Structure formats: structure tokens, C-alpha cells
Amino acid sequence: MTDRYESRRGKVLRAVRKADVDTLLVSGETNVTWLTGFSGDSSWLLLGPEVCVLISDGRYQTQIAEECPGLDAVIRKPDVKLHTAAATAVKQAGVRRLGFESHLLTFDAVEQLAAAVPQCELRPAPGRVEELRAIKDADEIAEIRAAVELASRGFNVLRASLTPEMTELGAAHELEQAMRRFGAEGTSFETIIAADDRSALAHYRPGREPIGDCSWLLVDWGAETRNRYKSDLTRLVVFGKPSKKLRRIYDIVLEAQTRAIRAIRPGVTCEAVDRIARDHIKSCKHGRNFGHGLGHGIGLDIHEMPRLAPNSQTVLAAGMVVTVEPGIYLPGWGGVRIEDDVLVTRGGHEVLSQSVAKDLGSSLVD
């Protein structure tokens, strides 16, 4: 386990050299976790060729020893601010050019740090760790598989538990509790369950009205493993015979997703995959009703690199795991979104969530 984190830190050091800095100050909570195994918060990692030290506080002294054996740590006192402790570590390491995560660190924190280390030049170095995190190793892929399996089992319980008296919020709770019973640490994000016209709201929050005699539910959910890796899926649950309009919209979205997934392989740009789905939806006269990117990376965070979206020139590589989630949203009527988690393999791709059926017939509930 320790070797894994050492290997990751070595990769970051090579990336740091390309950024023309001596040392990198890692402030992002998830980035710190990925590089050290530490699962706490409010802690920074100072990483360079001659220094590797975790800067934290007394709450985590025992936890750091357990989770990060052998890693040097500075435990600041309650009256010492995080940026002050970091500045002391920077001075002691003799850092001259310090890279910092400018996309995560606040302007105020940067100013305070700069004032505390006037002899050190601070240089923005955004996304260095995230770029490496985009390509998952075998253990990370196994974790994501487990998260998908937990989500799948929870969804099966939800389908069997739905009643007209159940509310959207109650259905969300049922799904979440089922995933936890199967071993999930929690949910990847706040579960979305939207009935009929509410499904046109892409980030809808479940309401307290009974489902009643609704025609369909859009369910967007995910499970988080004990090691914090996540899944992200969307399916429709359809009650009774679907209308012709629902069938037509569903078929358009499913075909868009199928075409996009088929194109996923190493060497293809994220923009190209997005365009394939978007062009199909546009050809069916619903381009204006698909207003978000096709997908995103998943892992320790629910939204990671890469992004499947217009203008995203990131090139897909083996080991990346992305969602593919086209949708059509018609205000006043409803929305259809179908989402799967897809691993980029050396020879193409693998749909990790293929066990969760998505043809419209499989979505029907008596």
C-alpha cells in the first residue's frame, strides 16, 4: 500500500519539474488523500525532491500514524494557522520556487502564504495531480467496479419497493439505505429521483409529494465504497405502458449514448465523443434540449478529469473511467437521461454498469 502512494508521489514530482517549480504545495483534500492515504481534512502536503511532509493538526495525529506509516508530518498547535505552518515547512526545506494549486487555494490563502515566505517565488500549478488521477490503476478500477455493483444492487431493491404512497424523497432514502445495507459507505452525491415533468430539471432535489400515478421516475444515483471511490448512474423507471412520445425521446437518447460509447477508445478526444452523441440528438431536432456535457471522470471525486464536453481536447487513455450521460429535457413534460460508467481499455472500452439493464422494456414496472 505504501509503495502505491510513493509511486504516485514520484509521478507528481516528475510533473512538478515540467512546471518549473522546486516543490508543490498540495492543498486539495482529495489530492492529499490520493498521494498519502490520509482521509482527514484541513491538511496540506508539501512535496518536492528533498521534502515530503504532511501538515495537519492534533485531531489527526493518531490517524496519520495509522493511515500513513513512515510519512513525515508536522502537527501544528491550535494557535498556529495552516498557512503559517506551511510557510515554516517551506523555509526549512529551502524552497525557492513553490507551485500551488491555484484552482483550489483561495486568493486570501495565497496572499498570506506569499507574505510569510517573501524569499520564495509562488507559481500557479493547477491540475497537476488531477491529470495523473485521471488514469486509474488496477486497485482503483476494482474500487469503482465495487461502487457500481453496490449501486446496481440498491437500484434493484428500489424497483421492488416502489408504491404509489412513496414520495420521491422516500424513494431516495430507500435506495440509499439499501446501498448501505449492502456495504456502501454512503452515496456518491445527493440522489436525484424525479417524477414526470420534474425530470426535466437535471439537478432536481426529490420532493415530498407521493409518487401516485406518475408515468415515470428518473433516478440518478451512485454508491461510495469505504475507500471513497464512487459510481454514477441514471435510469428511468416506467410505470405501465409508455407513451409514444416517451418511447421516441428514450430511443433518441439511447441511440446517442450507444454511438458515443462505441467511439470510446485510447487516442480519441473527449470533444469527439461528445460530438457524436450531440450530433445525433441535434439531427433529431432536440439539440437545444441537451444542455450539458456528455460526461465526466469519476473516482475519489464524483466529477474528475477528463470531461466529455464540447471544446475538451483531452485525449482518452487506457485507465480513464468516464460517465456517458446524454439527455433530452422538455420543460413542462419531463426529461430522459441514460448514464453508464465506462472504462477506457487498451483495446477500446468496457461498460462497467452493463448489469443495470437500460432498454425501455427493462425499465417497466407493473
What stretch of H or E contains 223?
Answer: strand 223-224
Query: What residue spans of the chain are helical by DSSP H?
Result: 2-18, 29-36, 61-67, 82-93, 107-116, 128-133, 138-161, 168-181, 244-263, 270-283, 360-363
Tell me the pLDDT band of 2, cut-offs 50, 70 and 90: low
For the chain, list the domains and their CATH numbers: 2-133 (3.40.350.10), 138-365 (3.90.230.10)
Task: List Cα–Cα distances, 62 to 28, 71, 77, 111, in angstroms.
Answer: 21, 13, 15, 31
- For the stretch 78-124, pLDDT in tens is 999 999 999 999 999 999 999 999 999 999 999 999 999 999 999 99
CA 302 to CA 307: how far, in whole Å? Answer: 12
CA 250 to CA 243: how far, in whole Å? Answer: 11
- For the stretch 20-59, pLDDT in tens is 899 999 999 999 999 999 999 999 999 999 999 999 999 9
C-alpha cell at 215: 408515468
Task: List Cα–Cα distances, 107 to 21, 113, 138, 187, 205, in angstroms.
Answer: 19, 10, 37, 31, 32
Q: Which has the closest alpha carbon to 195: 175, 222, 178, 171? A: 171
**What pTM did the predictor assign?**
0.95
Average pLDDT over residues 266-276: 98
Average pLDDT over residues 187-197: 98
- For the stretch 157-167, pLDDT in tens is 999 999 999 99
Q: Is the pLDDT of residue 233 over 90?
A: yes
Tell me the pLDDT band of 174, cut-offs 50, 70 and 90: very high
Q: What is the pLDDT of residue 364?
A: 65
Tell me the pLDDT band of 362, cut-offs 50, 70 and 90: low
Residues 6+ apart with CB under 8 A from 253: 281, 326, 327, 328, 336, 337, 338
Q: What is the pLDDT of residue 359?
A: 84
Return the percentage of the chain with pLDDT > 90, whole number.
95
Tell me the pLDDT band of 1, cut-offs 50, 70 and 90: low
What single letter denotes the amino acid at residue 60?
A: Y
Q: What is the pLDDT of residue 16?
A: 87
Average pLDDT over residues 283-299: 98
Cβ distance 155 to 42 under 8 Å?
A: no
- Mean pLDDT is lowest, of 117-126, 160-169, 258-267, 354-363, for 354-363
Cβ distance 258 to 324 under 8 Å?
A: no
Exposure string (b/e) for 312-338, b if CB count within 10 Å is 16 or more? bebebebbbbbbbbbbbbeeeebbbbb
Q: β-strand 216-221 against 233-239: which pairing, if any?
A: antiparallel
Q: Which has the closest alpha carbon to 233: 279, 278, 187? A: 187
Q: Is the pLDDT of residue 152 over 90?
A: yes
Eight-class DSSP state of 152: H
